[in-house]
Structure 1
């Protein structure tokens, strides 16, 4: 009932506003008020219609309208209103920054000017530094789109990729497809175009693999990455993503091999070394004992993540290095003392090492927290007392 009150109140305000409009006509203030109510209900198209009718003239109102345009991906309208804000307030750093983001794919020189003006505020310092570097060194809309995708701004990534795809770039078209699927929009036509126009392009098939993974076609994603590697076999990123694809379908030995090749072909790049270590942490317990030395060698590349550390320790234990596994689990607990997975693995390793008395308090602690794993283990240990220590 409590959750319904704001919705009901919003509906009442909308009704009252419509009554007022019938009686007195639509004023700018009334249009703006109705737009705000519609925005609260995520009816952005309705909100924009009313805000446009209000004919906003202040920078704050125009910025509100720009936000709505960007949600709706009405980029040209957003650009027009951002320019209007800057005309009214030339030092409006928010407007300069967002205008730069939108025009950079088609007009990088003007975008650079707006980024320089936006530097007056500390709000965007890190982003502006990166963007200026992108604009100055071999700029392309695709590289800009990739940066947006790293920020998980898939709407802006699609906008950037689209500008490159317009001139017939199949790789950009493939990225448009991926960006659209990331937003739950259909990207099939764009991907078909990319594959039809670049049937032997490794990067197109690489993006195709990512696209297939996004739509849930894991088996076909494996095939796509394999095809990419037939055209560019020593690319570490392609090898690594094939490793991820194999991992997703349960082909763990193949996955390990591809991650190791990615490390080899990248000259031990930390990014790929960390991916291999993370794989061992997640899936190492599924491998055979002859992989133990490989796991031990990758230990230094693990990130400071307690869950990965715990998983890595469990993998070491499963492959025969219980002492090393216990060290890793302790390292995980040093990062996060209440990590349930690490506590559970520690207890299990202690049990397997014959130190049941040391494991019991840990299992009792987990059971008190509602861990079904711990409770199951407790019921199978005759040494357990009724009360936690």
Structure 2
């Protein structure tokens, strides 16, 4: 299983220019997460800070007990081996063919023989659909193939964490769809923790288990995909629908006068750039038939059901409606229960009979019914 990444209060600036501040989130192990945000919000800087290429001003980034912000250079070098990184342009060496590009990390960081290296390189090229292209130079292949070659190189050290910086940039919608499926298939096969930075709304709606968004130097939100996809936050709604009307402007921040002008124009019938409201939960991509199920899906559902009562009503409704009959039985939700937010959800409270139970979970014991001879004192919920 991939490593968990715990980020607390991470802050970065260049001189007097603050990039983002007090970013706090946790990348759950073995799950796929996406980070959204307008151009210029520091998403690529965030990835570089996670692997120690840039040093944050303050905060923590803890991976397997190591805080890469404060650890020694030697420890940082070892921790970086847990990462595989797909850069925006693939970052391939132009004078090397694809085989040598993919083999480079193995030759640099291991003492494997050329026979072992060849076996690993050909395996990763096949995994990314590049079998037979190993002798080609980066300048002789398409942008989509360069992306896949960069991904193959990111996989050769069997990373626990994979970072993808705008993997869809420069690709047409069809190639982006293939790349999205490839990332899901990789997660099914190696169970790695994956973080994708993207502007592609279709990818963000169909691929990840969790979604976050950076805006105005802050992390607007990060959590289960259903929360952001049903959010009524103006910046989230504007970004998902790709419209001009909202807080995001040509520069990141839009002043009140510009917002008032655009609202007046929209009220007068001027088109704001959007075509339809794409908010709402759509089915998530599944692994290609024949591949194993994603282990992260079960872990994610267990985790989300534990915190279901704390989520917004629209997200609750989407999560419940997505459960299969078997999952409803697993979590103690009657199959006849309507797909609606639980009563009291806005207060973080649930009637005892409405609490979803997760097998083996320390979260909460099923409440005894009044008069039951099996009633017992309530369990200490300090761990909830």
TM-score by length of 2: 0.30
Determine which structure has the larger strand proportion and give its number: 2
Q: Indicate the structure with greater helix content.
A: 1
Flag the structure with more relative contact order, 1 or 2, with Cα contacts below 8 A and sequence separation at least 6: 2
Larger Rg: 1
